[in-house]
Chain A
Amino acid sequence: SAVISQKPSRDICQRGTSLTIQCQVDSQVTMMFWYRQQPGQSLTLIATANQGSEATYESGFVIDKFPISRPNLTFSTLTVSNMSPEDSSIYLCSVAGTGDGNQPQHFGDGTRLSIL
């Protein structure tokens, strides 16, 4: 299975600043996803990172707040912009081999973000 490296693993940021989270996969993958997880809660899909085109955002998430890049099939970044305390959360990158939901997802260990 794919090995996913996510950086940074944690950060404490000031409100109003932005942070870019990196996700590196050890093999080429079709699908890359970004999730948000409040401590002790379930996962909420932010967007699907598409290689060579704009990301597909879920309801409630917008590109201005969460710009995503995917320059190739092994790398993606998620930026959390103009952060507020409500953005304090765990951000997870995941990958899957196909876009039909018939394969498991493989996750990075997440980025634990705290906004002061």
Chain B
Amino acid sequence: SQQGEEDPQALSIQEGENATMNCSYKTSINNLQWYRQNSGRGLVHLILIRSNEREKHSGRLRVTLDTSKKSSSLLITASRAADTASYFCASTSGTYKYIFGTGTRLKVLA
């Protein structure tokens, strides 16, 4: 399967703590994207990092990319209850296909 792997599968933290989730992929990529999916909703795009970038920030989100290890991480700082959702990475290799990871279910406890 080309599907990316994410870990942990599930993560439960207290409000205010940081949440880190990791994504590994199998082939060389053009870019890697992170998406959030709230329960009962579609996916929402969070951030895109290109293969020649190592780190990117957007608000409380920090994404790193290590192409030598074929891995990426998403850090959410100062988490809030509203961050409770599933998070997916998706890699692309220059075609229309987005290879989605297995997802991390994040629960932030108030």
Chains A and B come from one and the same complex = yes
Name the A residues within 8 Å of B43 (CB-CB): 43, 92, 94, 105, 107
Most buried by A among B44, B90, B98, B105: B98
Complex: A43 Cα to B90 Cα, angstroms: 10
- The interface bits of chain B over 84-107 (1 if a CB of A lies within 8 angstroms of the residue's CB, else 0) are 000010101111111011110100
B30 in the interface (beta carbon within 8 A): yes
Instruction: Type the 1/0 row for A80-114, where 1 means its CB is closer than 8 Å to any CB of B.
Output: 00000000000010101001111011111110100
Question: From residue 39 to 96 of chain B, which have CB atoms closer than 8 A to chain A?
Answer: 40-45, 48, 88, 90, 92-96
Interface size on A, residues (CB 8 A): 26
In the assembled complex, how far is the CB of residue B96 from the closest CB belonging to chain A, in whole angstroms?
A: 4
The number of residue pairs between A and B whose CB atoms lie closer than 8 Å in the complex comes to: 63
Knowing A41-B103, A42-B100 are in contact, say whether A105-B45 is a contact too (CB < 8 A). Answer: yes
Chain A residues within 8 Å of B, Cβ to Cβ: 1, 4, 6, 31, 33, 40-43, 45, 48, 92, 94, 96, 99-102, 104-110, 112
Q: Mind listing 29 A-B residue pairs with CB under 8 Å? A: A6-B42, A40-B105, A41-B103, A42-B3, A42-B100, A42-B101, A42-B102, A42-B103, A43-B43, A43-B100, A45-B98, A92-B43, A96-B96, A99-B95, A100-B30, A100-B95, A101-B94, A101-B95, A102-B31, A104-B33, A104-B45, A105-B43, A105-B90, A106-B45, A107-B44, A108-B42, A109-B40, A110-B40, A110-B41
In angstroms, Cα B88 to Cα A51, docked, is 28
How many Å from the CB of A10 to the closest CB on chain B? 9
